[in-house]
Structures are given as C-alpha cells and as structure tokens.
Structure 1
Amino acid sequence: MKNEQVHAIIGPQTSSQAKFVIELGGKAEVPIVSFSATSPTLSATRSNYFVRTAQNDSSQVKAIASIVQAYGWREIVPIYEDTEYGNGLVPFLLDAFQEIDTRVPYGSRIPLDFNHTQIMRELNKLKAMQKSIFLVHMSALLGSRLFLLAKEAGMMSEGYAWIVTDGLSALLDPVGYELMDSMQGVLGVRPHIPASKKLESFKSRWRKNFTTSKPQIKMNELNLFGLWAYDTVWAIAMAVEKAGIVHSGYVKPNTSESTDDIASLGKSEMGPRLLRSILSTRFQGLSGDFHLGWWRNGFTPDVFRSVVQALPFPLPYEFIPFVNKNKQSAGTYNELLYQIKLKRFDAVVGDVTIIANHSLYVDFTLPYSESGIRMLVLTKRDERDNMWIFLKPLSLELWLTTGIAFIFTGLVVWVLEHRENKEFRGKPVQQLGTTLWFSFSTLFFAHREKVVNNWTRFVLIIWIFVVLIISQSYTASLASMLTVKPLQPAFVDVKEIKRNRYFVGHQKNSFVKDFLVKELNFHASLLKEYETPEEYHHALSIGIRKGGVAAIFDEIPYVKLFLAKYGSKFQMVGPTYKTDGFGFAFPLQSPLVPYVSRAILKVTQDKDKMEEIERRNFGRETTCLDQASMVTSGGLSLPSFGGLFIITGVASMSALLIYVTKFLYIHWPASNTMDQDKPFYMRIIELAKHFDKEDPSAHHLKIAGSSVHPIPSVEIVGASPNIDDAHGHSSTSIEGSGDIIVDQDHDNHTPGSGVANPEPPHTP
C-alpha cells in the first residue's frame, strides 16, 4: 500500500493474517479480497473493504450436524487448532449441536506450535476420558500430524469415529500414502464444485503446462482453494475493466511523514469505485457461479419450498433465474411478471410485491411476508466510552461563544470596578487573574470579591441568570448521554430530508421508486438506485456530503436482510408505509392459486417454522431492527442560547458605554487643557492614567481612607484665638482635645504635614 499504492490486494492466505490486513484495507479504502480466509469471525469485523470469495466456514455447520444426527451420536468432542481459523467456527458448532440435542462435553484446543509429545498427551487425555466421536477443524499441516499420532495412539480403530471440516478434506486430495493410510474411515465435508466443460478444459491445460514447465516436480491435483484463487483473479480483472480504473494514487492526509505511521498511508482514490465493481461482478467461473452480492435469494426460495411441502399433492418445480446472457437482471419486476402472460414462465416465486396494476395479467397468492416500506438510516455511535464525552453536551460554537462571553463579562466588570474598588487594583498580572477568576467563579460559587458599582451589579444579575441556564442545561444533557443508550439516528423525519433536498436511495427496478415520487412527493432527480446491500452500506456510510444518501427506502424483508449484516450501524425509523407484501404470481385463473394460498397460511401460521426460516436468512440478531423510540437528545447548540447571549451582551455593552461616557465627560476636557500641543495619542495616554488612578470621590474610598489612616489627637492648653507666633503667623486653635488644627497661612503650609506644632506661649 505504501510503496506500490496498489488498488486491491488478493489475500492474505490465513484468517489470522487477514484480521490485521482487513483493518489496513479499511483505513486506506483498498479492497482486500481473500479466497482462503474462511473464519466466520472475519465477517464480524464488518469492514466495507473486506471481500471473501471463499465459503464462510459456518456454511458447513448444518451439513455436519445432519451427519451427526443421522448416525445418532449423542456426544461429540471438537478438536481444533488454537488460531483465528480454528476458534472462529466453535460457537457455530455448539449452536448446531445444541439444536439436535448432541452434547459437547469437552473441547480440545491445540496450538500450532505443539510438538509431537504435546499432541500425543492431549490424545491420551481424550482416550482416558473415554471419548470416541471427534470433529477435527484444522489446517492441513496440523491436521496431518494429528491423524498420524492418533493412529499411533490406537484411536483410528473400530469404536472411534472422526469427522473433518472442509479445511482438511479440500486439501487432502491427493496426499502421501502414510497419511492416507492413517485416515482410513475418516468422514469429511467439502463444498460442491459443479462439473463443467470449462473446468475440464482448464484441468487438461493445467496438467499439460505443469508437466512441460516443471517435469521434475510431481504435479498435484487442483484443490478447491486453487479454483477459488483462479476465479478471484478473473473477478478483479473484470471489475477493473468495468470500473474504468486509470493510473491514480492515494490521497495523503495531513499527518506526520513518519514511515511507521499507519495514518500516513492515505486513502486510495479508486478504492471505493473498484469495491463497488467487484461486488457487482458475476460470471461463470471454474468453481461455479461467481457472485458476491446477495439479494433476492434465500428467504423467498425457503418459503416456497416449505409451501410446496405443505401442499396436499406433489408439485415438481425448477428455479430459473430471470437474467440475461451476462448473468445480470433481465429487467424490471413488471417485465418479469409479464413473462407469465407470454407463457415463458409458469409462475414467479421471487420477491414480487402485490400491486393492483400487476393483477391485470397475473393472479397473486396470499402474501407470505411482512408488508410495508420503511426508512433505513445511519445510527450515530455510542459516545459513552469516549474519554472526551464531557465536551459533547455543548457544540463547538457554543463552547467558544461561552468562553468569549466569560472573558468579555470579566473585562466589563474590571472596567466598571477598577477606579472605585481596591479588589480590582494592583499589579497588571494580579488584575488579570482577578478579572478572569471573578468571571469564571460565577459558575460554581459566590465570589469573595465585592462589587461597589451599581452598573456592575446590573451586568452580573443578567450574567448569573445566563450562567445558571447554561450550567443546568449542560448537566441535564451530559446526564442523558451517560445514562441512556444513545441509539440516535441521523434522520428521523421524512419532511426534513425533503426540505433540505437530500438524496435518498431505493432498490433498482423496484416499485419503491414510484412510491417515493407519487406518494411521498420526492423529486425524481433526488433518487438513487442500488442493487446490493454493500451499495446500501456504502451510500449511507459516506453520508450526504460525499455523494451518499440521507436514507434508503425499501420493503421490510430487504431491510431485514441488510440489518442482518450491518445491524449495529443502522436503524429502521419513521412510520411503516403499508403495502400488500410479497406474493407468488401465477397465470390468470390458475387452479394452483387457492391451494398455494392455503399452504402459505399453514406455513406462516407455524411460528416455529417461520422463525427457523427467518433465523436462517436474517440471522439471530433482531434487536437492532427498530429502536427509534430510544432516541436521545443530541448536544446543545448555539442557536438554543442565542437570545441569552444577546441579552447579556447588550446589558454589558450598555453599562460599559454609560460608564465610559461619564468618565470621558469628566476627564477629556482636562486632558485637552493640559497641553494643547500634545498629539491625540498622548491625550489618550493621559486619559488612561486618569482611569488607572483611584476615584477620590468614591464614597467607600473616603470611608476606607479615614479608617485606615486616622489623624492623631492633639491637646493644646491655654491657647487663644488670633495669637501671632514668632514668625508672625496667625492661627486658630480649639481648646481641649482637638482633631484638626487649620493653618490659615496656606502659602507657607508644609505639604504633607498632618498637625501643627506651635511653639510654647511666651511667659508674661
């Protein structure tokens, strides 16, 4: 990816390797196509860019369970390798054996690095436990060692039974004589490869070319994984041609240039287009019909088979796909149903919705599926485990606006209090700290700094009211995020989607398109068609801003098929738009219609039967299908509090303007008369100096000054009014204990002297 900037990767070979490479492919948006990584756990990663062209190991579980049930074995011991490949199948095996009442008393897990002695010790342990029925799920390398040692331990004799999964059986043809001899009597399962002229021709050419190029090497037969590998290469080659891939590189992110940084890989420019092309590729390969997309299959045939079994008479049938020579859909549903009128088909048992205009040329049976159209949207992820969740209750704009409001309010308070309040005086750093502390402390407790200006009190009354509302709203929103599971859909209202003219999706060739245009009044230009669940997933995941869709409308069975694979990320929301459901179509006045309809009633009313069919096709997880009622509120945004910020801003600015106007009215003329020749900026500096001085007219400052600096009492005895001192000064004193002596000679008064100290009176 880093050095070659590849568009796709074929591989890796093992499931353990694939788990890591899948993650890289998802980050770089490079399709990872594996023909041999078969562990079911890889599907749980739900990476858009992981494509498996091999059979999932879980597909063989029912066949294995049927064998065990047929032989009547009531107990079985799985022996599996301790890897991603080996461990991934175990949960599926346990479920399958539980359904047929077969016990699994013990599971033998063998690591790849076990030597012969350790494997033999495990086999002897099983022998001592008197276990005799075993299921082996291992790769060929470890499995071959196991069976050689099992024969040595005497466990391949009569009284023991062994079953192997396709991981072993598909690779043991042919093998060495010694291994084949040790595995006599072992029963295995493997996927079916249909015979074809194309396959036989390839085998012939393979033998000829291999013998010519490497005559010294003994040729092995082609195994299943080899055929899958060949078809995989062809599929990617066809997908590249169809997608029109040109030379292009990766879009580099704005990250570190470090060679060890995975994020520096960037994203493939052609990856998303190539992925869609691969998923829609279909052809007849060596291993059979190569088709990765899954849609319109499974549920409908299963129901039809069950209905045929419920008929009172045998009904032979053959499934014929409605496809063209390229194995693509041959037309719309209307065109499919019209084939009955043309007598090209005897019936249509696909996923056909019962619609009135279709009944003009076919007869429908009773519906066999849940009816209705639902809206499918992306679900926002659970944020409760996010270490930064405390920031989520407020939007970024609201955080920034609140912070600016705190600083602005603190500055307004400082301006209003600076000249009159000693709490807001001192060194610049101390004043800045006091200002910020005063503003932010209003969030939590009553501040110790007292305010003396009435305009300050006016500003604070409104500001504290705003802070109260914001803090209470933040607390409530955060509590909701932490205590309620947030299954919040991206969209819940169809009106919102239409109002904003967002794109919506639907299934190609479906009547849902007409429903969206005629019933929900969507403009046709805003509709996008998709064919596979993977395309649905991609369109919803990338969102409306990157060419995706806001929602997808489809019939409930299809939505269930989609949610069975991607249920954790998406939801069905909104109302159910009623339809008549899926039905089977027959020619007009066909005598089969009433019989098939009665059989449908038997099948659909058999809850156990329908639950089995739905579980087989839609999976076990059903809790994510409709949880729109658990929507929680999102984070608080700025518009919700815009009015409060406007009020507090107007109040603060009004108080500030009134105060500044008053100050300028008093001091600006004085600054002009100080020096008419001074430039304007010097006058501004003079005003700033005036502002920085304490206001001597402030009532509280006068009180504070007299209490802090008292004038000492002076007692003068024998003084009389208008006594001239030795210097000819005339003074007046108050006999007794006087507080102040006023010197009437203002010109010669010593500045800063607090009291008069007259000389002693002359002796008569």
Structure 2
Amino acid sequence: MLDFLVLVHALRNMIIFILVCSSYVVHARTIGGIVDYSSAHGKEEKVAIKMAIEDCCAFVPLHRCVGLHFMNSGKDPLEAAASAKKLIQTKNVSAIIGLDRWEEAGFVAKIGNTSQVPIISLASDIPLSALKQWPFLLNMARSSRAQMKAVAAIVQSWQWRKVTIIYEDTISSVNDIFPYLIEALSEADVAIDYYLPLQPLSPSSIQEKLRVLQSRQSRVFIVHTSSNMAVNIFLEAKRMKMMKKESVWITTDGITSFIDSLNSSTILAMQGVLGVKGFSPFRSQVRYKEFSRRFKAKLRSKYPTKKNMDPGSYALNAYDAVYTAVLAIEGKPNPQSLANILNNNTAVQSGQELLARILDRKFMGLYGEVNFKGGALAPSSTFQIVNVIGRSYLQLGYWSEGSGFSVKIDKGSSYSKSMKILGQVNWPGRASTVPRGWWPVARTANRLKIGVPGNSTFKGFVNVTYEQPGGKATVKGLSIDVFIAVVGDLPYSLDYDFVPYYGSYDSLVKEVYLKTFDAVVGDTSIMASRCEYAEFSQPYSDSGLQVLVYTKGKTSATRAWLFKKPFTTWTWIFTAVINLYSGFVVWFIERQTNRDLRGSWFKQCGTIIWIAFTTLFTSLQGDQLHSNLPRMAAVIWLFVALVITSSYTASLTSLLTIQNLNPMVTNVETLRRTGAKVGCDGNSFVVKYLVDVLKFEPHNIEKIYSEDDYPKALKSGKIAAAFLEVPYIKVLLATNCDGFMTGETFKAAPLLSDISEAVLKASENGTIRNIENSLLSSYKCSEPDGDAEYSLGLDSFWGLFAITAAASTLALLLFLFPRALPKWPNLKGVVIETEPEQGMHSLLRASASSQHDPVDDERVLFNAELNRQ
C-alpha cells in the first residue's frame, strides 16, 4: 500500500513537472541570433548577445528566462536567409538579432516581413528606403554619415586635396561610400583621385590592385573594408613598401575597432595608420566598465590569442539590441527598471505587438540612447581618433560633429577644426613631419603643362629665352618665382613643365578651357570675360590700371620769368598802386617842410617812385619825417611792405624747390578731350578697355610691345600718357625714377565667386566709375588752372591793401582839411622866423644832424609858407 502511495505521489509530481514544462514551452519567448562565426564582428556580437541574455535572466525566475538560438551566416546572404527561416519555423523565435551586413539583412528582411518577426540588424548601411519597404526590419546600428565626416575632417585638417578610396566591393561598403563619404569629402573640398574596389572572395587580387596605386600620385588612402580584408591589404602594402614616409592611411570603424584583435605582424604592418573608432558616451559609467571587464574576460577565455580586446561598436549595439528585444517581449511600453519589467508578466501575443513595443522603447544603452525613429536609431556624433603605434594604438582624442577635434569630451573642453590640437602623430615610416600625400615623382601620370606668355611686354614678370634656336626654353621672372615658391609651400608635390605660348593673353587663357594647358602662370590680369574659360587664383600683386606721365624740367626761358610767379598779375598791380599812393601821400605832406622834395615835376615824380619802392626793401626811419601825419601812414605802409616781402620770399622759395616741373596732364577727361595720344600694351586687355570704357578714339591709342619703348615715347612726346597695370608701373618707376609720375587708378577686383565676378564686370564696363563720378560731381570743387594754385592772389592781401590805403587817405585828409578853411587861426605864438638864405635842410641831412630840432625846422618852414601866402 505504501508503495502504491509512493507511486501515486511520484506520478503526480511527474504530471506537475510535465505541465510546468509545457507551460514553459508555450509561454517561453526565444531570440535568434545570426552572426558570422569566422569574422571578428561575429565573434564579438556572439559574446555580447550571450552576456545580454545572462544579464536579463538574472532578474527573473529560470522558467521565464528568454531563450537564445544562434545560427551561422557564413558571409552568405542565402545561408543567412535559410538560417532565419529555420529559426522562425522550428525555434519559434520572437525576434532575430545580428546580420551586420546589408546583403544578409536584405534577404532576411523579406522573411521577417512575411512572418511578422522583427529583424534587428547591426548593419550600419541599411538604406532608408529598405526600412520603409520592410516595416519589420529595424536598424540598431548608427548611420555612417557622421563617421565619414570625421574621416573627411582628418583629410581637410592636414590640407590633403586628393585621396584614394579602397573599399570592399559589397553592397554594405558601397552604401557607405556612396553617398556618405563622397559627400563629406566634397564638403571638405577634397577630390577623389581613384576608387579601388576589392573583391571579398579573391584576396589574391589585392597585390595586383595595389600595384595600380603605385603608379598614381595620390598617397592618401582611405580604407573602408571588413577587418579580415584589411589584414590582407596592410600586409601586402607593407611588402610592397607602400607603408613608408609621405604616405597616409586612414581606416574606418569597421577596421579600427578590431585593431587589438589583430596579430602582431598585422599591427606592425599598420604602423602610423590613423583610425576613426566608434565612441560610447557612457564609457565612464560603472555599468559600462563592468560590462567591459566581463566582455574582455569572456572573449579572452574563448579566443586566447586576442589581447586587450575592448568592446567595439558592433558588440555594444548587439548588447543593446538584446535588451531592446527582451524589454519589448516582457515589458511595458515605457519601462523604469529591468527587474520590474521582467516581473510584470505582460508577454506579447503577436509579432505586430512586439514590433510596436520595440519601436516604443526609449532607454539609455551601453552605446547611447535607444530611441527608434523611422525604424533606425539616431546616428553617433562623436568618434575616437586613434594612431597605430607599437603593439596597439594610441588614443589621440575625439572628433564631434559640429564642434571638431578635442583632446577630451568634457564640459569646457576646447575644440578646433584642426587635428593639430591632438598633438604629435606618428606617421607611416616613423615620420614626425606631416606627409604631403603625393608621390614625389609620378610614374605614369602626365606632368602638368603650364602655359606661360612667350611675348610678355615686361620681361621682369615672364622672360622666355632659348640657349639656341629650337632648343629648350628657359623661363624666368617674377611670376615664375612666385609660382615656384607657392608650389613649394603646398602640402603635396606637383610635377610640371613650362610651355611658352605666343599669342594674346585672352587666347592663352582660352587654351586652358580647350585642355591645351592644365594651368597658366604669368602676368595675366583677372577679367570677367576670361573667367568663362578658367578659374583664377588669388592675385599676387596689386590690381588695377594706372596712368603714367613724364614731366620735363623747366627750360631756361621759363625759369627766367619764374620771379613773377609768387604773385598773380592783379596782386602785382595792386601792390604797385598802393605803394605809389602811399609814397605820394608821404611826399605831398613832407614836401612842405623838406626842400629836397621840391623841384621840377619830373624830379618830383622820380622822388615819389623812389620813396614808394625803396620802402619794400629798406626801413624808412621815423626821424626822417617831420610830421606826425606821414609817420602815421608810414607805420601801416611799412607793416604791409613787411608782409608782402615775406610772402613773396616764401612763395618764390616754394616754386624753386618744389614746383620745378611742368604741369602734369593725368586727367582722363583732359586727355580724351584734347585728343592726346596715349600708349598701352598691345597684347593686353587695355586696348579694348580704353576704347569701350574710357571712350578713347582708336587712332589716339598707340600700341607698345616693349617695356623699353614706354620711357622713350613719353620723353619724346609721342604719347602724353601711358595706361599700364599697377605692377608694370612699379617696374617702370623702379628703372626710370627721374621725371615719371603716376595719375589716376582704375580698380579691377579679383574674383572666385558669382558676386565678385559681377563686381568685376561692373568695374570693367565703367558702371562703378560712373557711380563714383556721379557722387564726386555733387561736390562743386573746381580744379585750379596752371600755376594759379601756387601764386598768391588779391584774396591774400586785400585786407592789408585796404588798411594802408585808408591810413594814407586819412593822413592826406587831415593835412588838407585845415587849409580848406576860409580863415586860418592866429599862430603867431608858434611862428619862428628864420632867414630864407639859409634854405631848406634835406630830409636825409635833417635825419643825420643833431644841431637843429626837427620841430623848429617845421615851425620855420610853416612860418615862411604863411608869409608867402
């Protein structure tokens, strides 16, 4: 009986166990993983997915733990599709994670869409159109757009202008190259010299393909392949001596993240490589550090040959993908903690519901925020910049989209567009200097053909000579020296040959458009019409058109009359009139008391003139005058004479030292109005400019083809002025400094954009000049004529002339007024008689004698005059 009870009890326990197991089978949810067991990506993903399942199961009872089934893709999209179908049909998986290649994800997406099983792909290059076409396809990896911008930022930072792209010829790589990398390089003004696609299944062809690169000039290589392909590339490049100085190698995250997993020989072959590596903003958190420690330990135990294997972006994305799926399978729409979610027992009932929950997930994962928008996660914006050196790599710093390079990712960190902020880089070949990125000598590439003007008027800029007729040309000059210096400062080398061209400058520029020349070097002006055929660099000299004239020295005949130039004609006339008038007043008053001032009219006229003009050069002493009235007039008169003589001396000195040249004609209007001959370079645009813009008559334009002819033509008077570009003017003034002077300048602006081109056209057709003239004409300022600006006119002396005239007139009126009265007052008390025989003492003897008082003499003369009356 006891045995029966024991048997019944055992049977009951067995039934309970079977029911429990059946319940587990019915209600359990499983996740499928499809990875490539042979690739470094797949190995990391497999370890990360298992760790995520273990972490999820740690919070729930064993019977509710999410199951996991792995399948190998074998790098074959068809095999991946077969594995997905098997997982869905036989393992009843709720979601599939993995598929880090778009070729595989594309095949599996169709199956997942039909079966309504979410496919969470780790491929970074899934097109948005595919996500819309297959709603059950989700992209857990971030877009490569920002990563390609980081690569372009490195190239731009070191001013490399051409690159070669080496990529694996798969849909995944192509989707990253086109358009992300091409777009990023274009924005950085970097040209792609060559595309080198490599077949993933034929590594033996790598040597042949790399040999093609040896024959090209570009030495900046961007490698975007799988890590397995990269191993073959760098080992072969090392063997072919392509990893030496002056070369640059840049790898993307698909290679850089697995550098630590590579063997020592491969790392030695990659010395000096710059790499862009995915970066998790949560690396400093405890959760990430704990995961990284466990991840390294598990990877090392499973793959002992790998050392210091940090989790890459694929491993982090795989871990976050599992968390996303588990949260959606067992959780609520907006979870707060994993333990609470997994204990809620709200399992999904359909694939559509599971998809909705996955898309609704929003939490912080190990690699960043998980928040699906349109079936994809937001792209990463920060990447590590590493440099392969020694047995591993050195972390140089970071690159952040919109900010640039920085040493740290902290608040207050300084950013720069230049990678130089990250410090010294170890370049290939152990070079410390920045590589130029070009082969020093192109092996098969054509050398650049640089056209130079063979008939340049000014040989100082471009001078083409031949050692013998038909021999090799030697090109020298300022333009050539500038070009050589500029090329020497470029971050890459150029191979070129100078080819002389004998024709107009316009046709020379057109030859660039016709591909006859790769470029033109010379004294070529930037013109709007020429910009239709070529682009111009920044000008290396002053731009513009300037007038040059020659001024001859004064002839002896002209200098003979230079003494009259300090005063204008009217100033001379009024000076003479005022002097004569003042001398007349003094003579008229003084003659009453001074016998020497009397005599014949001829003598008295000479005396007046003598008194008037000697005052300008000698001082008339006050004691020579016997009356206060002439003294009053003489004081003002002497002051005016002092001012006039001083002004004359100063003006004449200025004329003798400064204005020793003939008047210059530098005004375009004057030249055009008078029909003067003007000269210009017959090979340049100036001929057309003078006719079309400045409106000179064609027959008044003298075409000159040698710089030595300009001084001769100007000195001989063959031309009145020369119109030359500013650099040519400097050359002529440096070699002919005596008598040559410049006039008006006509500006012409350089251009490299549409606005600049429009400004240049406005300058050439005279629009800007007309606007300037319209503005200046509103200011009514007339130009002085001839020497008038150097001669002193009446406006400088009319005040002095008026004062001295008024003083002399007043003295004369005061003298005549008493004599005009009918009766003269009794002055007997003041009359002093004297004998007439004694005569009159002259004005000069009276001034020298000390025996007679001038006042007494005046009284005697006055008394004698009264007696006669």
Which range, TM-score by smaller chain?
Answer: 0.3 to 0.5
TM-score of the superposition, structure 2-length normalised? 0.30
Higher relative contact order (CA 8 A, sep 6+): 1
Higher Rg of the two aligned structures: 2
Q: TM-score, normalised by structure 1?
A: 0.34
